[in-house]
Structure 1
């Protein structure tokens, strides 16, 4: 009898130890799972397509909005660190190095240049424009001002815009008459964006190659701008004659043209289109392939959170700064044309 009791006690003790060990393993697993749903720091870098200070101010609310939306997706993000890239390449390089987790508002060609270190997460949708579908400079000039439509689109064109300087007027007349020449384009002073900018550099270069057998690098009078606003300001003052821009940046700067930029006439009277590029895939939100926090599950949660953010009143105000209306899922295939353009530019080096 005593032997039986000892056996029972021994078995009971063993069972308790086993249960305790299982419970400990279970708790360890739960803790690990819980930890994986907490992100210490999410680093977002914005493309400097507009004045960097304005971007910083406009996007300031995004940290709290995204924290809230990610919480709904099961993730606690302790801190969201936002910054504005010094140029387009800086954002791409940050993604490539893993020092940036998210590149926000990346142009198609910036992604194309840094595709090995980044992955498309979302593509922006925008309202279409009244002159969409026409590649005729004359048509755009005869149908000013450009207005938005109700149609949501995922692409846009780059417009090569001439200002009100004597050379700008000459180029506009030639464009309308169909007599534009490389000589006059080369004599003009151009304000260009970063070399990885789709609308401000790469696609305009393709336009020059296709129409005049020259690339943007062949232009003898160019100056690199830090944003479209800077280029617009110099176009208004006559410091430059031509600038390439996303269609249609003039809508965004119409008020500034006669106030901040100091022009006397309206932007629609002072400027004309001299070239229209093929369609460019809309800006995207890219994530770093080298980021330690970008697991498949977190990418899914981040995608849902950003799409939901874009539906809130506060979120709409933030993304409107980039002329974004919302976001759709995106893959590398969406940027096939941009990759070809970037590759052709690279080979031309």
Structure 2
């Protein structure tokens, strides 16, 4: 009987030891809390082309390694991080909606509003605030560069810019003289526009037109859709377009290219502000509702990983391509104003 009990005891001890070995993939986080290791074959991240796509690809090349490292700290072993740039904003929204992309990076609120049924907001970007924030366009036209401040901001403005064409100069002169632009002034100009879901390049400028001259962008006679802000500035420089709406610090981002690539002299004197929109909530990081990877635990891990990555020197270099400086947790409700703006656009275009 004693031998039988001894045998049972040895067997139980062996099973306990084996069970402990089987749980060897459990990890400890920095606080010592146990985290179960989870394996992910591939994480697909798609960036919006709000900057030059080649620049985005170059800048984000280290992202795969950084994400693997940060996700490992959150208990996820990500085998491969697939990084791509959408051909336009809608391409990113469609990829997230179909589940072929897991994460959308740098997505404006307007794009989220269009694809809200199939996506969730994970994070909002924070950026350095600017030393100019006036709603009076004349205040932006002092010939001095717009500069960043040390204050972090979660919103920005869209600026309606006029270029060095004859029509662009005509509009600038009226604004700087304190005159109010009319529909005849604006509707006769050639406009370069971003995607229809771009907050800064389409939606808020359309609302600005509605507020100021009771018209919509669809009423403008001559428009060109730019595939990126870079191609838009090239058209503005050559006089192919007279007017282009952009995010508030775009002139700062394209100051050097204005001279070296587009053959002009000084963007601060040759490109002026003729309109300023209300504040727009910053770009978002979205996740797909139709990705089989995106459960609550994965979302939380991604939030923490991206927030922590953005605090590292390498991470700061990666997100600098969008002038992002960090991220904070966000919810779909944060973009309620964007959804309302999108609905107004739809109503105005019907």
- Same fold flag (TM > 0.5): yes
1:129–1:221 CA distance, 2 compared to 1 (3 A): same
Q: CA contact under 8 A between 2:36 and 2:75: conserved in structure 1? A: no
Distance 2:145 2:324 in 1: 20
How far apart are residue 334 of structure 1 and its match?
A: 1.1
CA RMSD for the aligned pairs?
A: 2.4
The equivalent residue for 2:224 is 223
The equivalent residue for 2:256 is 255
The equivalent residue for 2:343 is 343
SS at match of 1:203: helix
Distance 2:24 2:315 in 1: 34
SS at match of 2:254: helix
How far apart are residue 32 of structure 1 and its match?
A: 12
Q: CA contact under 8 A between 2:51 and 2:321: conserved in structure 1? A: no
**Residue-by-residue CA offset, 1:305-346 (whole Å, 9 max, x unaligned):** 111111111111010110000000101121111110011112
| Counterpart mapping for 1:174-189 below 5 A | 174-176=174-176, 177-189=178-190
Distance 1:60 1:257 in 2: 26
The equivalent residue for 2:62 is 61
The equivalent residue for 1:303 is 303
How far apart are residue 181 of structure 1 and its match?
A: 1.1
1:21–1:124 CA distance, 2 compared to 1 (3 A): same
TM-score (norm 2): 0.90
The equivalent residue for 2:92 is 91
SS at match of 1:115: coil
1:115 aligns with 2:82: no
The equivalent residue for 2:76 is 75
1:212 aligns with 2:213: yes
**Residue-by-residue CA offset, 1:165-187 (whole Å, 9 max, x unaligned):** 11000011122222311112111
1:32–1:255 CA distance, 2 compared to 1 (3 A): closer
Mean Cα deviation higher: 303-312 or 20-29: 20-29
Q: CA contact under 8 A between 2:44 and 2:82: conserved in structure 1? A: yes
How far apart are residue 236 of structure 1 and its match?
A: 1.1
After the TM superposition, list the runs of 4 or more consecutive aligned residues in structure 1 that deviate by more than 4 angstroms.
Answer: 11-36
**Residue-by-residue CA offset, 1:91-131 (whole Å, 9 max, x unaligned):** 11111111110000000110111111111111000000111
| Counterpart mapping for 1:86-235 below 5 A | 86-132=87-133, 134-142=134-142, 144-176=144-176, 177-235=178-236
Unpaired stretches in structure 1, ≥5 consecutive residues:
none
1:19–1:146 CA distance, 2 compared to 1 (3 A): same
The equivalent residue for 2:32 is none
TM-score (norm 1): 0.91
SS at match of 1:321: helix
**Residue-by-residue CA offset, 1:22-44 (whole Å, 9 max, x unaligned):** 99999999999999711111000
1:35–1:311 CA distance, 2 compared to 1 (3 A): closer
Q: CA contact under 8 A between 1:199 and 1:246: conserved in structure 2? A: yes
Distance 2:206 2:249 in 1: 18
How far apart are residue 347 of structure 1 and its match?
A: 2.4
Higher helix share: 1
SS at match of 2:70: helix
How far apart are residue 154 of structure 1 and its match?
A: 0.2
Q: CA contact under 8 A between 2:143 and 2:269: conserved in structure 1? A: no
1:316–1:32 CA distance, 2 compared to 1 (3 A): closer
Unpaired stretches in structure 2, ≥5 consecutive residues:
28-34
SS at match of 1:142: coil
Which of structures 1 and 2 has the bigger CA Rg? Answer: 1
Mean Cα deviation higher: 190-199 or 30-39: 30-39
The equivalent residue for 2:315 is 315
Mean Cα deviation higher: 222-231 or 91-100: 91-100
| Counterpart mapping for 1:216-295 below 5 A | 216-263=217-264, 265-295=265-295
Distance 1:131 1:159 in 2: 12
Q: CA contact under 8 A between 1:131 and 1:143: conserved in structure 2? A: no
Distance 2:239 2:167 in 1: 10
SS at match of 1:250: helix
Distance 1:180 1:32 in 2: 65
Q: CA contact under 8 A between 2:102 and 2:291: conserved in structure 1? A: yes
Distance 2:277 2:68 in 1: 39
The equivalent residue for 2:324 is 324
